[in-house]
Amino acid sequence: MNNRDNQRNLLIVNSRDKTDGTTSNFKYSLGDVSLDINSIALKQASVPHLYTNISENNNDLVLEMGTEFNLTSSAELNYKINGITSYVPIPNGIYTLNSLIDTLNSNQTFGEWNYDGLIGRVEFTNTSAGVNINGIDFLVGGSPAIMNILGFSLPVNCATGVGSNIVATNPPTYLENNVFNIEITPGQYTSTTLLTEVMTQLNLFFTSTATGTLVDDKVVITNTTDTWLFRKSNIADILGYEVNEMIFQGVQTAQGVPDLFGTRFLYISSRVLSNGYNALQKGGDKTSILGCLPVCSTYGNIDKWSQDYLVKKDYPSPINVNSLDIQILDDTGKVVDLQGTDIVLIFECWCNTKL
């Protein structure tokens, strides 16, 4: 192509002039004009910093309450079916009632254990059609006796027939672990205000009032009556907890300091101008990224970015553009909430004609 035919033009996109959508996810029309674009580059961007560090994209907190116990050596659950004595192996390790039941169910095929929270008892149901008239006999044996931990008095028999079941006479030695999914109210937080909000939510589930403090800049949550921990969740990460290192206890100290910086980068995305996908993010998610805007401002200000040395997106053949899409994404690939404030993007595009 003759360079004189490849003319450089500016394309100025202001979300105020959008035809549909929000200021961070909108459609934009060129009206009566269509451009045959050979290449494009994001030259400048101006985006208000009114997206909060806690948003609907990262406000989940997962709490687990209960108890755990340590099997220091392999245990077994002894049983007899059709005159043959065998056992369900239980590897040594740390267990909750939930994980013990899951292990029992995954290590055999003749029945199913579950905990009935309404009556506070563990139940066993025969699921095998191959059990003879004597049913399933659970025997005294194993150290510790797993059926005793579940609340059954040994020996005990479950009658033959699919669907036959037995209910433990006693509550299990260890409480069922309950998992609660909590949503923290979106907003712009400091470490102190976020911890205050988190404690308000946690105390809705704890049986007595727990306290949260910052000690040497690390979060310390103290609960005098419950044993608990966080499961993997965004707010747990933000508070500085390495959840894979937590154990069930009343006092939980974060391994790291709170991270309230929020989004580090904004991504300018457009399926039309990227001509499909051209970037990969976490987990191999495909996205259409035209530029990255580092977040250097504080909340309430404006992030301005300018590129002196343009990085062009070249198309295999000219694309005809009359309308386009724009999304402003955070560094997890989710659309940010700009609370209705407008953005301005300036592109340089190389076309067959001069405007």
Would you list the domain boundaries of the chain? 3-51+263-351, 60-64+182-253, 69-167
Q: Given a cut of 60, is residue 207 above it in pLDDT?
A: yes
Least-confidence region, from 78-82, 128-132, 336-340: 128-132
pLDDT in tens, 79-120: 999 888 999 988 988 898 989 999 999 999 999 999 998 898
Max mean pLDDT among 18-27, 149-158, 175-184, 270-279 falls in: 18-27
Note the pLDDT of residue 220.
98
Q: Given a cut of 80, is residue 3 above it in pLDDT?
A: no
pLDDT in tens, 212-268: 999 999 999 999 999 999 999 999 999 999 999 998 899 999 999 999 999 999 999
Amino acid at position 212, single letter: G
Which of the pair, 61 or 288, is modelled with greater confidence? 61
pLDDT band at residue 13, thresholds of 50, 70 and 90? very high
Domain 3-51+263-351 falls under CATH 2.40.40.20:
no
Please compute the mean of the pLDDT values over residues 76-81 and round it to a whole number: 89
Task: Name the pTM for this structure.
Answer: 0.74
Please compute the mean of the pLDDT values over residues 12-26 and round it to a whole number: 97
Please compute the mean of the pLDDT values over residues 8-34 and round it to a whole number: 94
Note the pLDDT of residue 118.
87
Please compute the mean of the pLDDT values over residues 174-186 and round it to a whole number: 90
Q: Given a cut of 80, is residue 141 above it in pLDDT?
A: no
Burial of 325 (0-12, 13-18, 19+ CB in 10 A): middle
pLDDT band at residue 1, thresholds of 50, 70 and 90? very low
pLDDT band at residue 37, thresholds of 50, 70 and 90? very high
Note the pLDDT of residue 242.
97
